[in-house]
Amino acid sequence: MRTPSNGIEIEYETFGNAEDPPLLLVMGLGAQLLSWDVEFCESMVDRGFFVIRYDNRDVGLSTKIAVDPPVDMMAEMTKAFGGDTSDAPYLLKDMAADGMGVLDALGIDRAHIVGASMGGMIVQTMAIEYPERVLSLTSIMSTTGDPDVGQPHPEVLPLLLERAPDERDAFIAHQVEASRTISSPEHFDEVRAAEMAGAAFDRCYYPAGVGHQVLAVLASGSRSDALRELEVNTLVIHGDVDPLVTVSGGERTAEVIPGAELMILEGMGHDLPAFYRAVVVEAITALAARSAAAA
């Protein structure tokens, strides 16, 4: 399904009964809605949620943002680290507004919101910009935008800057190795990673979107001061061996949001493999129940 939202169009899918409490899933950098795997979505439906997953702008089947001339990632990253982010084509607050537009299209006033990685940054921004629309907030493997926490290990930083190959088999091989580098060491599934990469390539190959989204993250800055003002039941989930957004990012997020619960998962990297699914599903369900009881 596709809907106008915030001046563009956003592709989305739903699972479950629209009469159940809505749960909006927001994915991370360059990742399509497919990255919220069907098994996870169905597990949340089984817990009584109406689940919505969608493609952020610049990925999947949602609108691609035209930039002319095309973004030179190395030049823009150099400028960004020097403090100049003026060429960012949009900000995280624009991406947050995109997600709110999906809720509008579905006639949903308030929702439980869950974001992973950059998606965690987006749902944090949703809670800041639209607090009246958030029933609960779950931020997974994400950070606050503060430059002193959550920074990637030097050896994985090229993953943010490297353009994926244009040819399908080479793309899959590249994505599998990238996933292996950042994923939970004991639970990496190479076959699953290859299947997901192939599905993503076949659905939409658009590497330019990754660069645009990186600039959006850098240009949006720190959310810590605004997060300190939140009044929303919050769960922060992070893996203790995450090399892409290190665990200090999750710790800072839980530190600044009043009353936030911090769940550190031992052995989890920058992914959400099946091994951890049950504990994450139950934690989100418990958060929603506490939020409903407090309403």
Within-domain flag for 182? no
If you average pLDDT over each of 81-95, 123-137, 205-219, which comes out highest?
123-137
Taking the C-alpha atoms of 280, 193, 49 and 244 in order, what is their torsion angle to the nearest 10 degrees? 50
**Residue 294 confidence (pLDDT):** 72
Within-domain flag for 199? no
The CA-atom distances, in angstroms, between 48 and each of 17, 21, 23 are 8, 7, 10
| Domain CATH code at residue 127 | 3.40.50.1820
Number of separate domains in the chain? 1
Within-domain flag for 183? no
Within-domain flag for 192? no
Model confidence, pTM: 0.96
3-class DSSP state for residue 263?
Answer: strand
**Residue 295 confidence (pLDDT):** 63
For the chain, give the percent of residues with pLDDT over 90.
Answer: 86
Burial class, 169, CB count within 10 angstroms (exposed 0-12 / middle 13-18 / buried 19+):
exposed
**Residue 36 confidence (pLDDT):** 98
Q: How far apart are CA 64 and CA 20, in angstroms?
A: 32
Within-domain flag for 185? no
Within-domain flag for 109? yes
**Residue 197 confidence (pLDDT):** 97
Does residue 46 carry a pLDDT above 80?
Answer: yes
Within-domain flag for 196? no
Over the stretch 207-231, which tens digit does the pLDDT of each residue have? 999 989 999 999 999 999 999 999 9
**Residue 187 confidence (pLDDT):** 97
What band does 158 get if pLDDT is binned at 50, 70 and 90?
Answer: confident
Q: How far apart are CA 270 and CA 276, in angstroms?
A: 12
Q: How far apart are CA 284 and CA 43, in angstroms?
A: 11
Q: How far apart are CA 233 and CA 136, in angstroms?
A: 5
Residue 247 sits in which domain range?
2-156+208-294
Does residue 96 carry a pLDDT above 90?
Answer: yes
State the first-to-last Cα distance of the chain, in angstroms, to the nearest integer: 31
Within-domain flag for 114? yes
Place of tokens 């929303």: 232
Q: Which residues of 85-121 are buried (b: 16+ CB within 10 A; e: fewer)?
A: beebbbbbebbbbbbbbbbebbebeebbbbbbbbbbb
